[in-house]
Amino acid sequence: MRRGFTVTELVVVVGIMIALAGVGLPIFSGMKSTAQSAKCITKLRGLGTALESYLAENGNFFPRIKMGRKSRSGGNNVLEEVLSPYVDGPEVFQCPADHEDYRKTGSSYFWNHRASGLKRTRVLMMGMSRGSSKIPLIHDKEAYHGDEDGTNFLFLDLSAGKDLDFDVKTE
């Protein structure tokens, strides 16, 4: 009856474990990125709910605010200040994949300043011919969620996602 592993068996077992880790780590990393993107979309939906409350109290007019700020002391006429009464806490303005912009500025998100002060029904963007409900209102400051398609959006219809898809007139 044998009581232990030989060196060869131990090397084979360690090699198999390293190979499995090599395969598993990229899969785990991708799953983590997908989970963070889903959490970010959930936060954007929460900002949509806050924005809906703001619109209800302000005659369906969007706030007159700047796109964002460079530092936390860079003014208060920004999304995170205007919507703060409508959210549970400041962490709603932090994308889970952002560890720098939120710390520096107080938000991971930019506001589409072209909508500032406009009535909800009057927001236009680049001559859109269809899908005007898909005009982005709030979006990630950076592509936090991976590749060039790693940006999440809150749209005019207050839906959220990462698919920026609209047509423009080509007259």
Q: What is the pLDDT of residues 145-170, one digit of tens each?
A: 876 667 899 988 888 888 776 555 55
Tell me if 21 is assigned to some domain.
Answer: no
167: DSSP letter: E
Which domain covers residue 153, as residue numbers? 44-168
The pLDDT assigned to 134 comes to 80
DSSP string computed for 12-32: HHHHHHHHHHHHHHHHHHHHH
Residues 156, 111 contacting (CB under 8 angstroms): no
Amino acid (1-letter code) at residue 168: V
Tell me if 116 is assigned to some domain.
Answer: yes
Q: What is the pLDDT of residues 108-133, one digit of tens each?
A: 999 998 888 988 877 766 555 444 67
What is the share, in percent, of the chain residues with pLDDT greater than 90? 38
Cα 144 from chain centre: 7
Tell me if 23 is assigned to some domain.
Answer: no
Tell me if 4 is assigned to some domain.
Answer: no
The pLDDT assigned to 15 comes to 78
The pLDDT assigned to 130 comes to 41
* pLDDT band of 45, cuts 50, 70, 90: very high
Residue of 141 and 18 predicted with greater confidence: 141
Tell me if 55 is assigned to some domain.
Answer: yes
Tell me if 96 is assigned to some domain.
Answer: yes
pTM of the model as a whole? 0.74
Checking if the pLDDT of 3 tops 90, the result is no
Q: How many domains does the chain have?
A: 1
Tell me if 92 is assigned to some domain.
Answer: yes
What is the share, in percent, of the chain residues with pLDDT greater than 70? 76
Residues 96, 39 contacting (CB under 8 angstroms): yes
Tell me if 100 is assigned to some domain.
Answer: yes
Q: Which residues contact 127 (CB under 8 A, 6 or more apart)?
A: 168, 169
